[in-house]
Structure 1
Amino acid sequence: MRVELAVSHNTPKMEEDINLSDSELVFHVRNALKLSIQGECDSYNQLVEVIRHNQKLGPEEVALLVTCLKALSGAVSCINLVHHENLINAIFGMCLWNYRTDVMDALVELILSLAASSGKYVNLCLDMLVGNFVPPPYFNTMLNEPRALTRKSQVLDCVHSTLKDIADMVPLSPMILEEKITERMPKPPMNLDPVAMVMYVENMLRLENGDLGPLVGRMMLVAIVDFLVSLDEQIPWDDIPEDDFTKGIFDMELGEFEGVGDDVEHDSDEMKESWIQKYLGGNKFAMKLDNLLVLIFDHLKLCCESGRLTQVFEILLQSFQKTVLPIYKSRFTQFVMFYACSLDPENCGKKFATMLLDVFMNTVHPENRMSAVAYLASYLSRAKFVSASSVATMLGSLVDWCSDYCKNQDGGINPKVHKVFYAGCQAIMYVLCFRMRSMVLIPRLKLQLQLLNIGEILRHPLSPLKVCLPLIVEEFFHVVSEAQLFTFPEMQKADGSLESELSRAFGGVEGLDMFFPFDPCLLKKSDSFIRPNYVYWSMVKSTPDDDEEEDDSDDDVDEAWGDEGIDMVDRGGRSFENHAFDDGFDRSFDAMSITPKESLLHKFVAKHSRMQMPSKIRPSTSPESL
C-alpha cells in the first residue's frame, strides 16, 4: 500500500509532494534518526516539527502526523534517549485530548511500541498516560456539552486500555503506575481546579474497579482517603462565631421549630441553607470535598451491587484506622465509612464497630483509644441501620471494660490518669441518650440493661459524673428517669429534675475534652446519601407532648426494633413514614447534637483554670453542637 502526502505550505514538512509506501516511510524515518546521530539533522528536525506541531490541523496535516507516528512505531529501535531528546519530548508532550481518534490511535500505537522496546521508556509512557487523566484547562468549560462528553469517553477509554496493555507487556509497570499517580495527585492547599480534581479521582476509582484493580486497587483507595483527609484539614471551623453554634442552631431545634408544622419546617430548611452558605458556601475545600464524597459514595454503591464491597471495605477499614482515626480533626471524611456500613450493615457495619471496640479495649495509645470509643459511640447512636440488639451487645462490652477498670482502682478523680476510662463512661451515656428509649421497648433488652453495672460504675470514687461533659450527663439522667432503670438519689434536685451536681460548670472538676465525629454532615450533596440511614436527635428526643406511656410487654415490639435498628415509630406511636421521613427531618433541621463546642471549654477553663485537663482530642465542631 502506498501513502500519498500532499503537504500544505503552512505545515512543517519533511519533503513536499512525495509518494512513499509504509515500509519506505519507516526506512526514511530510520534513516533520519541515524543521520541525526552523525550530525546531519535536517530530516530529523523536520520530523520533530511534524510531531510538535499543535495548532489546528487540516486534513493533510493530520494525515502527515498519523503517518509519521506510525512510521516511528516501526523505528523505535533507532530512537536514542540522548541524541533524540527533542523528538522524545515532542512525543510525550502530545495531549490525547487535542486530537481525533485517528491521531490518538497512532499515538497510542507508538507509546506501546516504546514501552515494549525498552524498560527505559516505561516511566515516560505511564507518566504521559496519567497526565491525560484530566483535560487541558480550556476543555473544562465544555465538559457539559454532548460532544465534549463523547471526547472524554474516547480519551479515557484509550488511556485505560493502554495502561492495561502496558501492564500485560511489562509486569512491573503497575508499581510504577502507582508512583506516577501519587506524584501527580493535587496537593492541598494549592488552588485546585475542582473539575480536574474530581476527574482525577474518577480515574483512580476506575482503575480500582477495572482490570488493573487486583494490582493497583488497594493503593488507589488508600491514596484517595489520604487526599480526602488533606482536603478535610483545610476546612476551618475556628472562625465560626460561638453564638452560631450554641444559640442559633440549638434554639432552632429545641425552641422555635420542634413539633411545628410543615410551613415552619420549610423556614427551618431555609435557615439551614443560609447557615451552610454563610460558612461553607464560600469554602472551596468544603465544596470540593463534597463533590469527591459523592463520587466515592457512587463508587461504593457500584461495588455493593457487583459484590465487591466486602473486599473494598477491608482496605477502607485499614486506611481509616491508620489515617483518619488518629488525627482527631476529620470533619467529613469519616462519612465514607458510615455510608459503606449502611450498604452492608451485617458485614461491614459489624466489622467497623468491632474494630473500634478492639482499638479502645486492646491498644496502647490513649488518644487513639479515646478517639475510637468516640467514633463507636457516635456510630452506634447515629446509624439507623444498627439494630438495638447490636447496640446492647456493644454497650455490654463497654460496661464490662469500665467495670473491670473500676475494680482495679482505689483512688479518686484524676482525669489525666484515667482519661480512657472517662471516655468510655461518656460513650456509654452518650449512646444511651440516643438509644435507651428504643431498647427499653424490647423486654429482653430492657432486662439486659438492668443487669449491667452502669450504676456502680457511675458511683465509683473515680466519679465519672463529675468529669464527663455535663450536657451529656444531664441528658443521660433525663433518659434514665423516663426509663426508670437506674436511680441516683444523690443527684435528685428538689424540683424533680436530674443533673450532675457540678454540671452547671462545664466539665465538673475537670473538663473531659471529647468529640463525636458522626454529628450531622453539613455537606449538602453528601448529606443526601447519609440522611436516609441517619438518626437525628429529634427522632429520639422525647417532649412533654409525646410522653405517652409505652407497652413494653408487647413481644411484637422486639420484632420491630430488633433487626432493623431504630423503628419508624416516635414516642407518640406515630409512624415516621407518614411524615415524609426521608427528608422531612432534614428540612426541619432536626439535627440537634448534644456534643459541646470547644470554645465553651475555653470559657470555662479561663474561669476555672484549676479544672483544666490537657487532651489532644478536640470536641465535636459540628455546627449543631451545643
Structure 2
Amino acid sequence: MSFFTNKTDVTSILKTFSGVKRHQTNVVSINKVRFSTPKEKGLAESVRVALEDRNFHLVKEFTYFIREAELSDVEVVLIMKDAKRIVHNLTPEFVTVVEALLSLNWRKRSSEIIEAYTEFCIELMVAHNRYLPIGVSKLIVHWIPGDLDESEWVNGGPSENTRNGLKPIHKVLDRILTAVPMAFDIIIDAISAKFPYFKKPCHVTAGYLYNVLWLLEYKPIFEELVFQLVLQKLLLLDVNAPKDEIELEINDQEDKVESDTLFKIDDVFVENLTKSGKSVSHPVGKTLDVCLLLLYEFFDGKCRINENSGDQQRRTANRLFKMLLYLFDEVLLPSHNTHHVQFIIFYVTSLRSVYSEAFLDSLWLKVQNPNASAVIRHAAVGYMASFLSRAIFLSHSTVIFYLKELTKWAHTYIDDSDAYKHNCSLKANLVFYSVCQAVFYLIAFRAKDLTASSKDLLFLQSLQLSRLAMCHLNPLRYCLAPVATAFAGVTRTYQLAYCHTVLERNARRKLATVYGHEKCMPDETLESFFPFDPYVLKLSKKYIEANYMVYQSNDTDEWVYGSIKYDHSRKRGDSEMLEEDEFLIADKRQKNFELSKSQELDKQFPFGSSPGFYE
C-alpha cells in the first residue's frame, strides 16, 4: 500500500531576493544621508572643518564624545597624538575642546598614555600661553587627595603607589616651568586657589602640603612665595585650633587611659598608650600637627649642618634661614594669639647658634626702633622674653647680654621720662612696660641659672632692679600677677629688691577701682603674649621638646601678704601651660585656697594671656 502526499501551495516566509532587487536596494542605501560618528571624523578633521567652513558643530560633537565616552588606551593615545600634530591650530576659540583634552583621565593609565599626554601638554603650553592657567590648574588639582584616601596618606606621607602616581604630574610641571618661564606666577596663583579649606580632613590638607614642598625640591625659586602662603594658611589653622580646647581633649584622653588601665600596674603599658604616635583628636589641631611635622622635616633636611655638609648645603641653609627671618617679620610677628606656627623659627634657630643670634638681634633692633609701631615693638619684646627663657640651646652669656641690654634701655627710659611723671598710662608707655615685664619674666624663669654663682648675683645687683621696679612709672602695676609674684619672690630671696609693698599697694588700688566703678579698667594689666608657651601638639612635638626648657618651680615662688599666703589656684582655661610647667606652686586637684579679695578679682577679670609659668 502506498501513500501519496500532495504538494500544497504554501508560501515561505523566506522570500527569494532576485539580483535586480538587490541592486536597487544597494543604490538606495548609498544615496541615503548618513552621519559619521565623532570617533570616525576625529579631532583633526573636526578642527579643519571649523577653520575652513567656520562650522564648529563637529568640534562640539567631538568634545561631548571625549567627555562622555569610555575611551580605551589605544583611543586615548591616538587622540593625544592627533592633538599634538595640530596643536598650532588649537587657537583660543577651541578652548572647550582643549579643556576636555586636558581633563582626560591619564594618571593611572599606561605609560604610553602618560607620555602622549605629557608631550601634548608641553607642546600646547609652549604654543599657546592662553592655556597656561587651565593646564596648570588641571595638573595641580591632582595634588589634592580624595576625602576617602586617608589610608594612602599616613602622617602627611603618601604610600609608594600614591607617590609613583604623583611623579608624572611633577615631571610635567617641571618641564612646563623650564620651557615657559611666565608660568611661575600662574603656578603660584593656582597653588593658592587650590589650597584645601581648613576644615577638610587632615590627610587632604597635609597631602596637598606634601606636594607643595615637593615642588620646592626641583624649583627652589618658589621658596619665598610658597612659604609665605603656607604660613598664612597654617596661621588660619592655628587660630581655629585653640590651645585650651586641645589641652581639654588631651586631659580627657589621659583620664580615659587612667580609667581603662585602673587594674593594670604595668607602667610600660600606660606609657605606650600615651606615646602611641597618634596626633591630637581635635580635627583642626590634628591637621596643624601633621602639617607642622612636614615643615619640621623639610627644614631639618635643608638647614641642618654637620661636618660632612658641603658649601652648597651651607648656602642652601643660610638662604632658607634668611627667607624665614624675612617671613617672620612679614607674617608671624604681626599675628596675634597664635600658639604653634611660630615654633618653626624656634626649631630652625636651634640648628645653629648663628641663627639664634641673628634672630635675637633682629628682635632687639625692632624694640629699639622708635619709628616702628608700638604694637610691633611690644610683640618683639614678647618674642625676646619667651625665646630667651625657653631656648635651652642659648648660651648663658647670650641670656646675660640681652638681660643687660633690656634693663639698660629701661633705665634710660626712666631717666628720659622724669619730666612727664604725670603721664603713666599704659598706652603712652606700652614699650617700656613690655620691656620691664620681659626683664621680670626672664629673671623669674631663669632664676636658677642667674643665681648659680656669686658672679651671677653681682651681675643681678648691677642691674638696679629695685630702681626699675619702684620707679614712678610703676611697671609692677601693669605686669601679669604671676610674673610680678615670681619676680618679687626671687628678688626678695637674694636681696635684690623688695617689691611686696608695691604689689600690696597696687592690689589695693585695683580693688578700689573695681568697687568704685563696678568694673575693672581695661588698662590695668598689660596685654601680654608669650609665643613660646608649652607645645601641646603630639606628633610634631618631638622636634621641639629636646631644645625646650620646662619651668621648674622653687620655694621663691610663694610670698605672703601679711599673714595670708599668696598663691594661685588654677582654673582650666586661665592658663596656657601644662601641669609639669607650672610657674607657681598649685595643687593638681584644685584644692580650695583662702584668697584675698584682690586675688579673687584677678581671677574674675583676667587680662592678657598666660605668662607660661603655670597651667
Please state which band the TM-score falls in when normalised by the shorter chain.
0.7 to 0.9
Do residues 591 (structure 1) and 584 (structure 2) align? no
Q: Report the Cα distance in structure 1 between the residues aligned to 2:55 and 2:450, rounded to whole angstroms.
A: 87
Instruction: State the match for 2:500 in structure 1.
Output: 491
Do residues 69 (structure 1) and 55 (structure 2) align? no
Instruction: State the match for 1:552 in structure 2.
Output: none
CA contact (8 A) 1:369 1:420 kept: yes
Q: Report the Cα distance in structure 1 between the residues aligned to 2:585 and 2:128, rounded to whole angstroms.
A: 60
Do residues 419 (structure 1) and 430 (structure 2) align? yes
Q: Which AA in structure 2 matches 1:530?
A: I
* 1:515 corresponds to which of 511, 529, 532: 529
Measured after TM superposition, the shift of residue 322 of structure 1 is: 2.0
Q: Report the Cα distance in structure 2 between the residues aligned to 1:152 and 1:608, rounded to whole angstroms.
A: 55
Do residues 234 (structure 1) and 240 (structure 2) align? yes
- Alignment gaps of 5+ in structure 1: 1-11, 17-27, 253-262, 493-498, 545-587, 597-602
Q: Report the Cα distance in structure 1 between the residues aligned to 2:379 and 2:266, rounded to whole angstroms.
A: 37
Instruction: Give deviations 1:231-251, integer Å, cap 9, x for gaps.
Output: 11112467799xx79xx99xx
Instruction: State the match for 2:368 in structure 1.
Output: 361
Instruction: State the match for 1:559 in structure 2.
Output: none
Instruction: State the match for 1:174 in structure 2.
Output: 184
Higher relative contact order (CA 8 A, sep 6+): 1
Instruction: State the match for 1:300 in structure 2.
Output: 299
Quote the RMSD (CA, aligned, Å): 3.9
**Aligned residues between the structures:** 508
Measured after TM superposition, the shift of residue 447 of structure 1 is: 3.6
CA contact (8 A) 1:595 1:620 kept: no
* 1:477 corresponds to which of 478, 484, 488: 488
Instruction: State the match for 1:128 in structure 2.
Output: 138
Measured after TM superposition, the shift of residue 455 of structure 1 is: 2.5
Instruction: State the match for 2:325 in structure 1.
Output: 317
Q: Report the Cα distance in structure 2 between the residues aligned to 1:224 and 1:507, rounded to whole angstroms.
A: 44
Do residues 32 (structure 1) and 46 (structure 2) align? yes
* 2:39 corresponds to which of 14, 18, 21: 14
Instruction: State the match for 1:620 in structure 2.
Output: 610
Q: Which AA in structure 2 matches 1:297?
A: Y
Q: Which AA in structure 2 matches 1:225?
A: L
Secondary structure of 1:103 counterpart: helix
Q: Report the Cα distance in structure 1 between the residues aligned to 2:546 and 2:186, rounded to whole angstroms.
A: 41
Instruction: Give deviations 1:339-391, integer Å, cap 9, x for gaps.
Output: 111122x1221122122222222153122211211111111111111111101
Instruction: Give deviations 1:188-241, integer Å, cap 9, x for gaps.
Output: 4xx313222112111222222x23212x11101111111111111112467799
Secondary structure of 1:391 counterpart: helix
Measured after TM superposition, the shift of residue 442 of structure 1 is: 5.2
Measured after TM superposition, the shift of residue 139 of structure 1 is: 4.2
* 1:542 corresponds to which of 547, 551, 554: 554
* 2:120 corresponds to which of 110, 118, 121: 110
Instruction: State the match for 1:52 in structure 2.
Output: 67
CA contact (8 A) 1:474 1:503 kept: no
Would the alpha carbon gap of residues 605 and 309 (structure 1) be closer, same or farther in structure 2, given more than 3 Å must change? Answer: farther
Would the alpha carbon gap of residues 477 and 137 (structure 1) be closer, same or farther in structure 2, given more than 3 Å must change? Answer: closer
* 1:403 corresponds to which of 395, 404, 411: 411
1:368-387 alignment to 2 at 5 Å? 368-387=376-395
Would the alpha carbon gap of residues 220 and 388 (structure 1) be closer, same or farther in structure 2, given more than 3 Å must change? Answer: same
Q: Report the Cα distance in structure 2 between the residues aligned to 1:516 and 1:46, rounded to whole angstroms.
A: 64
Instruction: Give deviations 1:169-203, integer Å, cap 9, x for gaps.
Output: 21211122111111211244xx3132221121112
1:568-607 alignment to 2 at 5 Å? 590-593=580-583
Would the alpha carbon gap of residues 212 and 435 (structure 1) be closer, same or farther in structure 2, given more than 3 Å must change? Answer: same
Instruction: Specify the structure having the higher radius of gyration (Cα).
Output: 2
Q: Which AA in structure 2 matches 1:340?
A: V
Q: Could you tell me the percent identity over the aligned residues?
A: 22
Measured after TM superposition, the shift of residue 468 of structure 1 is: 1.5
Measured after TM superposition, the shift of residue 76 of structure 1 is: 0.5
Instruction: Give deviations 1:503-561, integer Å, cap 9, x for gaps.
Output: 767978822221212110111112221111110012xx3359xxxxxxxxxxxxxxxxx
Would the alpha carbon gap of residues 463 and 217 (structure 1) be closer, same or farther in structure 2, given more than 3 Å must change? Answer: same
Q: Report the Cα distance in structure 1 between the residues aligned to 2:175 and 2:406, rounded to whole angstroms.
A: 52
Instruction: State the match for 1:287 in structure 2.
Output: 286
* 2:227 corresponds to which of 221, 226, 229: 221
Secondary structure of 1:500 counterpart: helix
Instruction: State the match for 2:562 in structure 1.
Output: none
1:546-561 alignment to 2 at 5 Å? none
Measured after TM superposition, the shift of residue 466 of structure 1 is: 2.8
CA contact (8 A) 1:310 1:347 kept: no
Q: Report the Cα distance in structure 2 between the residues aligned to 1:502 and 1:385, rounded to whole angstroms.
A: 39
Instruction: Give deviations 1:225-280, integer Å, cap 9, x for gaps.
Output: 11111111112467799xx79xx99xx9xxxxxxxxxx999999899999xx9xx9
Q: Report the Cα distance in structure 2 between the residues aligned to 1:297 and 1:13, rounded to whole angstroms.
A: 53
Instruction: State the match for 1:87 in structure 2.
Output: 97
Q: Report the Cα distance in structure 2 between the residues aligned to 1:200 and 1:595, rounded to whole angstroms.
A: 45
CA contact (8 A) 2:241 2:284 kept: yes
Q: Report the Cα distance in structure 2 between the residues aligned to 1:606 and 1:417, rounded to whole angstroms.
A: 28
Would the alpha carbon gap of residues 341 and 36 (structure 1) be closer, same or farther in structure 2, given more than 3 Å must change? Answer: same
